[in-house]
Each structure stands twice: as structure tokens, then as C-alpha cells.
């Protein structure tokens, strides 16, 4: 789910108008989100997470400190559940990533689409993949020989209270901003999936909800090099003209305004507004058309307004309790209260626009992530590219959302998300179909628990500091 930026040539008047009001826009518009947020779910029982790594002997690498993150060297034998992960699908995820070494185009702020680390994460991983074996036992030995695990600790300042505290958005935790936090090896692990909707290419009596493409009048303002105070913002707006003055750039419309306008270029029409809303939450999905064919859609852009979790709104109204405001529960409430559902969804002003994706080349091929690489179910994850290098291999430990016990797996950092903030924070991609007899939608909707992350970095090298 990549950010797709379109360049606009609006002439000198537009440039002047942008320059005059950019600071006002910076105060209004929020960050662009691949998936604005996974709605909410109760924190499940935490697995038996290991304590913080002990001080390492002088002969081993020393701890590396980065902005918002510190990496502590450890050993594979100390990773919980390391020997139990069968590593199935990992080699496929790495091969998909390293098949094309070109980095994604476009821009996502002053550091480019890969964050402040640039293509480093891709380079350090892909230069070793050529020697990667296929058999699980050999693959495990290869990882242990070529890589070293580093426990990830969040330090100093973290963007977003949710990432810092692990609190569910529905319980009232903030999802943006900068917050001083205590050092911690524990963060928040959530999940996402690729939903299936019912729809048609044409509007009909049954299919009346549009899946909207990116509007032509949506402006992307990337002015970090001129106005440093905007460097961490993805500004969105639209140009308005007036006979009484010069053109102005104003914030783009909110959810209610957009939904009350005829769609300019709808990709499809679906039969359920709740499904359409959840499609925005996930950032990509599939629409089964009336002739049986399937249309795939993925994130194209966003209106720039801050995300507000509707789970929090339902708790505020007394409709749900904080401990039971899971994504499935929110969906059920919206369906059983159709007269109130639209007003509840309207409290989230953020709106996501989509683009059509090509059919999958393989049955298990997910939508493209932030690297432009097809995601691999249960082996791809979204991270914060400002805190960790995209393209690197990670190991995580958290509670399993579908059964008792822990979920501990090797994943590849191939995606980003609007609610993924901080170094000890990941969103686990469950895929499209059932996983172990349970639906990907149910597993993703219930996955929200404390967890830990380890960075697997080439032996003999030190993880990078943030520029």
C-alpha cells in the first residue's frame, strides 16, 4: 500500500498561494495514512515475554542508539519460540522483495519513500538473499549464521501515545503527536488483512456505495525543505479561486463532504457502507463483481485530515465498553444500528482514495506494500520507517489472537501504516483467506496485544543510527 504522489503544475499563482497559507494548512492537515488505523480490540493476555537483555560482554557488539530506538545485541537462543517457527513462506517474501532492487519512486517527505534510512534496509537484506537456502532447517541455520538479533527498545521520544503505551485507540489513547516516554522493550502488535466486498463496475439499485479513485483536485504539499516545521507532515488540500482575490489552498473536504458529492471516477460500486468503511481501514481489498470476476483495489491517497477512531466514539456514546470494542464488535454494532451508523462513521473525517491493482500473479500474493512488493501472508509486516529500516528482517513475540499462547514469527518489514508509530510497533499481515482454519478478518480484527520486536541485522555490522 504505497503512497502515490501526483505532481501538479498549477503555475506561479498557485505557488504563491501555497507559500502564503502553508503554515495554516500545516496546523489543519494530518499525516497521510496507508491504513489510517486498525479500529480497536482488547489487549489479549500477554505471552511470557523475556525480560530486558542483560549487559553483554565486552567482546560482543555494543548497544546502538538511534532516535526513538536502541538496539541491544542478543542471541537467537534467547528469542522466545525461535525454534518453533517453521519459517514457511519466509523465503518467498524475501525473494519477492529482492527480485527487483529498484526502490519505489515518489516522495514521502524530506527523506523520501523509505524514510530517513533510505534504501539501506533493502540493501543489507537483499545482498545476502542470493545465498538463501529453501529448506526450513537450512534456512534457520542460514539466518543464524548470517544475521544477529538485536532487541529493539523505544527510548526518549515516540510519535503517538498509542505506540508508546500500547493502549487501544478505542480506549482514548491519542494516535498522533510527540510524547516523551520511558524506555521500554514492549510495544504494540496489531494485524491487518485484505477484505472481500461485493460490487459492480456500474451503479445499480443494489450497488450504491462508490469506491472512489483519487480526485484530480487533491493537492499534495511537500514543503519540508522550505518550511522545516512541516517536514514530518503530509499536507493535503485543494485550490479554490475567487474573483475578489488570488487563488487559495484550503484543507480538502472531510468524510461527510466527500460522501455527499458525486464520485468523479468510481472504481466500483458496492452494496455495504460498513464494508466500504472497513476497506479504508485496511487500505486494500478485493471486490467480487456480478460476473464472478474479482477487482483488486489498493491505497492511492488520503484527504489529509486526521483519523478519529470510531471505536472511541461508540465508547463515548455508551454503545460499547472499552474492553469489548473489537473490530468485529464495532462492525456488528454498525450493522444492527443502520440509522446511527452513518453519523458514527462521519466522526472520522479521514477518507481514503483507491486505485485499481493488477490481478495477483500467485494465489498467495497480497497487495503491494510500501516497497511496491507484493505482501506475503503471515510473513509481511508494517513498521514505522522513521524508526526502523524498511526491507529488513524482524522477529516478534506477542499473544496469538485466535488461540491460547504466543504468536512468534520472523517477518519482513515491507509496509507502513498511519497508526504505526515508534520502533516497538508492528502491524502483522494475515492475508486474504483463512489461516489455520480461522478467517484472516477475524484474526486481524482481534489482534491487538503487547509484544516485543527484534531486528535481524548482518553479523559484524551495527544497526544504523537515524540521520
pLDDT-derived band of residue 325, with 50, 70 and 90 as boundaries? confident
The pLDDT tens digits of the residues spanning 161-200 come to 333 222 233 222 233 344 445 789 999 999 999 999 999 9
What is the value of pTM for the model shown? 0.77
The pLDDT tens digits of the residues spanning 271-282 come to 999 999 999 988
Q: Flag the least confident range among 9-13, 14-18, 31-35, 404-408.
A: 9-13
Domain ranges for the chain, please list them: 33-215+264-458
Question: What pLDDT is stored for residue 242 in this prediction?
Answer: 83
Question: What pLDDT is stored for residue 47 in this prediction?
Answer: 43
pLDDT-derived band of residue 374, with 50, 70 and 90 as boundaries? very high
Question: What pLDDT is stored for residue 61 in this prediction?
Answer: 62
Q: Flag the least confident range among 98-107, 403-412, 431-440.
A: 98-107
Q: With a cut of 50, say whether residue 376 has pLDDT above it.
A: yes
Q: With a cut of 50, say whether residue 42 has pLDDT above it.
A: no
Average pLDDT over residues 440-466: 92
Phi-psi region of 281 (alpha: psi -120 to 50; beta: other; left: phi over 0): alpha
In degrees, to the nearest 5, what angle opens at C-alpha 267 toward C-alphas 264 and 268? 110
The pLDDT tens digits of the residues spanning 119-169 come to 899 999 999 998 999 888 899 999 999 999 999 999 865 444 333 222 233
Which residues in 126-139 are b (16+ Cβ under 10 Å) and which e? bebbeebeeeeeeb
Q: With a cut of 60, say whether residue 288 has pLDDT above it.
A: yes
Share of the chain above pLDDT 90, in %: 56
Average pLDDT over residues 358-363: 86
Question: What pLDDT is stored for residue 434 in this prediction?
Answer: 73
Q: What is the mean pLDDT of the chain?
A: 80
Say which residue the cell 477484505 belongs to: 195
The pLDDT tens digits of the residues spanning 216-241 come to 999 988 777 787 777 666 689 999 98
Residue 228 neighbours by CB under 8 Å, 6+ apart: none
Q: With a cut of 60, say whether residue 32 has pLDDT above it.
A: no
Question: What pLDDT is stored for residue 320 in this prediction?
Answer: 93
First to last CA, the chain: 25
pLDDT-derived band of residue 106, with 50, 70 and 90 as boundaries? very low
Element (H, E) at 277: helix 273-282
Q: With a cut of 90, say whether residue 23 has pLDDT above it.
A: no
Is 69 in contact with 154 (CB distance < 8 Å)? yes
CATH 3.40.718.10 matches 33-215+264-458: no
Phi, psi dihedral angles at 399 (to 5 degrees): -80, 140
Q: With a cut of 70, say whether residue 214 has pLDDT above it.
A: yes
Question: What pLDDT is stored for residue 178 in this prediction?
Answer: 45
Helix residue ranges, H only, 105-246: 120-129, 136-146, 161-165
CA dist 410 and 379 (Å) reads: 7
Question: What pLDDT is stored for residue 447 in this prediction?
Answer: 93
The pLDDT tens digits of the residues spanning 50-91 come to 443 333 333 446 676 555 889 999 999 999 999 999 999 999
CA dist 145 and 108 (Å) reads: 35
Average pLDDT over residues 256-262: 95
Is 466 in contact with 154 (CB distance < 8 Å)? no
Residue 176 neighbours by CB under 8 Å, 6+ apart: 30, 31, 159, 160, 306, 421
449 compared with 102, residue with greater pLDDT:
449
pLDDT-derived band of residue 417, with 50, 70 and 90 as boundaries? confident
Average pLDDT over residues 351-364: 91
pLDDT-derived band of residue 21, with 50, 70 and 90 as boundaries? very low
330 compared with 45, residue with greater pLDDT:
330
Question: What pLDDT is stored for residue 102 in this prediction?
Answer: 60
Amino acid at each position: 500500500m504505497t503512497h502515490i504522489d501526483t505532481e501538479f503544475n498549477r503555475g506561479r499563482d498557485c505557488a504563491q498561494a501555497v507559500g502564503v497559507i502553508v503554515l495554516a494548512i500545516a496546523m489543519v492537515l494530518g499525516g497521510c495514512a496507508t491504513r489510517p488505523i486498525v479500529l480497536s480490540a482488547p489487549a489479549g493476555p500477554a505471552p511470557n515475554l523475556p525480560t530486558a537483555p542483560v549487559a553483554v560482554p565486552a567482546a560482543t557488539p555494543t548497544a546502538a542508539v538511534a532516535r526513538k530506538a536502541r538496539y541491544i545485541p542478543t542471541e537467537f537462543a534467547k528469542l522466545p519460540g525461535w525454534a518453533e517457527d517453521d519459517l514457511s513462506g519466509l523465503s518467498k517474501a524475501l525473494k519477492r522483495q529482492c527480485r527487483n532492487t529498484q526502490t519505489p519512486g515518489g516522495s514521502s517527505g524530506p527523506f523520501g519513500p523509505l524514510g530517513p534510512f533510505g534504501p539501506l534496509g533493502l540493501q543489507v537484506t537483499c545482498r545476502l538473499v542470493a545465498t538463501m537456502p529453501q529448506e526450513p532447517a537450512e534456512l534457520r541455520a542460514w539466518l543464524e549464521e548470517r544475521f544477529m538479533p538485536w532487541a529493539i527498545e523505544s527510548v526518549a521520544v515516540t510519535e503517538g501515545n498509542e505506540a508508546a503505551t500500547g493502549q487501544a485507540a478505542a480506549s482514548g489513547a491519542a494516535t498522533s503527536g510527540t510524547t516523551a516516554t520511558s524506555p521500554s522493550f514492549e510495544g504494540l502488535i496489531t494485524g491487518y488483512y485484505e477484505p472481500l466486498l461485493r460490487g459492480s463496475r456500474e451503479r445499480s439499485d443494489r450497488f450504491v456505495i462508490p469506491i472512489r479513485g483519487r480526485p484530480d483536485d487533491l493537492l499534495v504539499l511537500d514543503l519540508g525543505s522550505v518550511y522545516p516545521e512541516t517536514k514530518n507532515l503530509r499536507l493535503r488540500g485543494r485550490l479554490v479561486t475567487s474573483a475578489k482575490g488570488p487563488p487559495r489552498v484550503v484543507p480538502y473536504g472531510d468524510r461527510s463532504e466527500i460522501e455527499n458529492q458525486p464520485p468523479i471516477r468510481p472504481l466500483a460500486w458496492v452494496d455495504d457502507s460498513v464494508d466500504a468503511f472497513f476497506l479504508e481501514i485496511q487500505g486494500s481489498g478485493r471486490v467480487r463483481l456480478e460476473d464472478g470476476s474479482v477487482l483488486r483495489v489498493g491505497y492511492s491517497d488520503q484527504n489529509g485530515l486526521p483519523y478519529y477512531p470510531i471505536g472511541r466514539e461508540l465508547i463515548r456514546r455508551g454503545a460499547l465498553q472499552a474492553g469489548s470494542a473489537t473490530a468485529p464488535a464495532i462492525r456488528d454494532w454498525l450493522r444492527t444500528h443502520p440509522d446511527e451508523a452513518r453519523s458514527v462513521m462521519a466522526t472520522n473525517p479521514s477518507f481514503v482514495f483507491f486505485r485499481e491493482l493488477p490481478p495477483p500473479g500467485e494465489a498467495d500474493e497480497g497487495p503491494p506494500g510500501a516497497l511496491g512488493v507484493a505482501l506475503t501472508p503471515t510473513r509481511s509486516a508494517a513498521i514505522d520507517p522513521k524508526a526502523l529500516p524498511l526491507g529488513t528482517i524482524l522477529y516478534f513475540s506477542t499473544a496469538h489472537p485466535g488461540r491460547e499462547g504466543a504468536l512468534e514469527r520472523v517477518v519482513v518489514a515491507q509496509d507502513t501504516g498511519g497508526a504505526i508509530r515508534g520502533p516497538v510497533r508492528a502491524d502483522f499481515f494475515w492475508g486474504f483467506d483463512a489461516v489455520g482454519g480461522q478467517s484472516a478478518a477475524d484474526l486481524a480484527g482481534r489482534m491487538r496485544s503487547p509484544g516485543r520486536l527484534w531486528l535481524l541485522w548482518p553479523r559484524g555490522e551495527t544497526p544504523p543510527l537515524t540521520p
